[in-house]
Amino acid sequence: MKQILFLLMMTLVFSAKAEERWAEIITKSEMKRCPRVCYTDSKSKLKWSYTGGLKVGAMLDVYEATKDEEIEKYVMQYADSFITADGNIVSYKLTEYNIDMINSGKCLFQFYRLTGDERFRKALYLLRSQLDTHPRNDDGGFWHKKIYPNQVWLDGVYMATPFLAEYTATFDAENKAAYADVVNQILMAARHNYDLKTGLFRHACDVSRQMGWADPETGQSQHCWGRALGWYMMAIVDALPFIPQETEGRDSVLVILQTIAKGVDKYKDKKTGLWYQVMDEPHRKGNYLESSCSAMFIYSLLKAVRLGYLPKKYKTLAQRSYQSFVEHFIYWSIEQTADGSTENLANIGSCCAVAGLSKDRPGTFDYYINEKKQDNDPKVVGPFIKASLEMTY
């Protein structure tokens, strides 16, 4: 029965532009599965976090491509739930200095462009003000969190850097120091996290060399975690369009992007063109093909080629990987929706729910491969939607 349903849905998908249809299908399935998008991270209370904005931003892209009013209504509930009339953000606390909290600000640029509502500009300013006082290392790199002092995570570069770049280009275009800061965040992370042995970038670095997961000489964590490198690559392709050509160090950012692309190509699974949870040990027993990093790499490669940052050969790689993604990670299931009806919804599987580094999270190979998997996680839904839209160019 499942095979029949799959074939029927595939007929529907390929009757239109396949990739654009996938963006819409995943969006509409999520709308049915989670009717209140403001509760993406919590079923009972509002929680401002990076994942909600990641998913909503991707859905806003679908709305802008399709002008589907149902999608517009759905994503606006996120804005109306979190952004108050005076521009404050429900549940956000600046003084926690958590770099993750900046990320959802990126979708506020989209809301501001679409509505012109001043509350979004005020909320953007509030998030921007966090970066003025956010704790930094001696080389200017943002701490990942106030409770994680001296730590540079690849994840964190994505959370703050594209936001800072877009804010500067939108509201403060003459601020050369801000553009220099954007470039420095990317270069700083490369200096701390690059692995000479593999040509990849490790998940994080403790500059103080104090954490148990940190190498006593380099401060680096033990492995290149796929999603961390995916965050870093997306950070670069999303920030670069806003950085003026003449900004010092921009050419070095392009070199880093090219280095990541070479590593992504080298460490892909040769059979599927997809990527592993632990990038630097792809064939080790227990490792698995992971969907969120695969979606992030596909999106980043496609966008980088479209904007002229990478040669066209990487588009061919990404297109093949995209088709493998659909084949390996997407499945259909009959589910009961909030209104009590049953529908056939699209799902994305094999996504690592979360992986971090702390006293109890040592960053070993066994740690990464044994972390919980979660289907339809925003961290794969958002990047896959964006990758699907990039496939239409």
Q: What's the rounded Cα separation, in Å, for the pair 300 and 319?
A: 12
Q: What's the rounded Cα separation, in Å, for the pair 331 and 3?
A: 10
Angle, to 10 degrees, between the axis of helix 378-390 and the axis of helix 18-33?
150
Burial of 318 (0-12, 13-18, 19+ CB in 10 A): buried
68 has catalytic annotation: no
Closest CA to 383 of 55, 40, 100: 55
Closest CA to 59 of 89, 91, 33, 85: 33
The tokens of 218 are what?
């380099």
Query: Do 115 and 107 contact (CB within 8 A), yes or no?
Result: no
Start-to-end C-alpha separation, the chain: 35
Q: Coil, strand or helix: which one is 206?
A: strand
In the 8-state DSSP scheme, what is residue 44? S
- How far CA 138 is from CA of 161, 175, 342, in Å, comes to 18, 22, 56
Task: Kindly name the residue from 155, 181, 238, 377 that is annotated as catalytic.
Answer: 155
Sign for the CA dihedral angle at 178, 184, 186, 189 comes to: negative
Q: Coil, strand or helix: which one is 194?
A: strand
Q: Which residues pair with 206 in a beta bridge?
A: 151
Supply the Cα-derived Rg of the chain in whole angstroms: 20
Burial of 308 (0-12, 13-18, 19+ CB in 10 A): exposed
Closest CA to 323 of 350, 286, 298, 356: 298
Q: What's the rounded Cα separation, in Å, for the pair 363 and 361?
A: 6
Q: So which residues are the catalytic ones?
A: 155
